[in-house]
Each structure stands twice: as C-alpha cells, then as structure tokens.
Amino acid sequence: MNVDLEEIRRAREEADCLCTPAEVDAALNQLAADITVRLQDKNPLVYVVMNGGLILAGRLLPRLPFPLELAYLHATRYGHALQGTLLDWRVRPTQDLRDRTVLVLDDILDEGHTLAAIIDFLKQEGAREVHSAVRPRSSIR
C-alpha cells in the first residue's frame, strides 16, 4: 500500500471540524456514565471492533470505573470496497461467551448489517446479553 502523505495533509487541511474537543469529551463522559449505570455490576466482556472501534475504545475505557474484560474482533462486509453483503471474519471472538454480558464498541453505524451480524454471532455463542456503543452516521453533521 503506497501512502500519499501530501494527499493526507491536504485532506486534513480541507476537512471541516464537526465537533469541538470539549463537545467530544462531553459526549464521551455521557456515554461512559450511561454504560456505567447499565453494566457496572456485570463484569462485561468488551469487544472492540477493529479497526474502527480502536479510537473510541481508547478514549472511552479509561472513563469506565468498573471491572471489565477487554478483547477485540475484526469483521467486515466491505473489505476494500465501499459496500458489500458478505461478512468476512478476519479475527473471530475467542473468549467463552456463555452467560456473559457483552459490550461491542465500533466507530460509525451505516446500515447496521455488520454490527447486527456480530451481535447475532455473539448471542449464538451463548452471550446472555449484548449491548453496543456506536455513533450512527445520521448523527454526523
């Protein structure tokens, strides 16, 4: 993969700022508070959907003041294309999911097909309940 650094610099310079750092921090604090209320007594297994959920996880997890187990998975419908229908598991969940509470962290929810397939898989593997934290594309200005 050949990376054009000038193209990356140009894109960053031309990009519009959608939210201030303070707005992002406030949203993350609210999300963490909501998750804490719901999951603080459940020792959840938190799955980060790679690669998109990595930044969210890095910013959100330090705000969760309760025990949890962290893991990752990598599934995509798109590969290198802009759309697709077949779920491609790059890294499947490896933890025992039986009777676990699971939280899935991802970046942006487009149509929801990939996240729905991930949640279905986790439930089929025995998860008691599966929650997700993801930003819907419709909320992006």
Q: Domain spanning 5-139 has what CATH number?
A: 3.40.50.2020
Strand locations in the chain (E): 45-49, 69-76, 88-91, 101-109, 129-136
What integer pLDDT is reported at residue 61 of this predicted model? 97
Rg, the chain, Cα only: 16
Give the model's pLDDT for residue 140.
Answer: 47
Mean pLDDT by 10 residues, the chain (141 residues): 83 89 92 97 96 91 97 78 64 92 85 83 96 70 44
Query: Domain residue spans in the chain?
Result: 5-139
Cα distances (angstroms) measured from residue 140 to each of 29, 74, 134: 18, 24, 12
pTM of the model: 0.82
Query: What is the Cα–Cα distance from 117 to 27, expressed in whole angstroms?
Result: 26
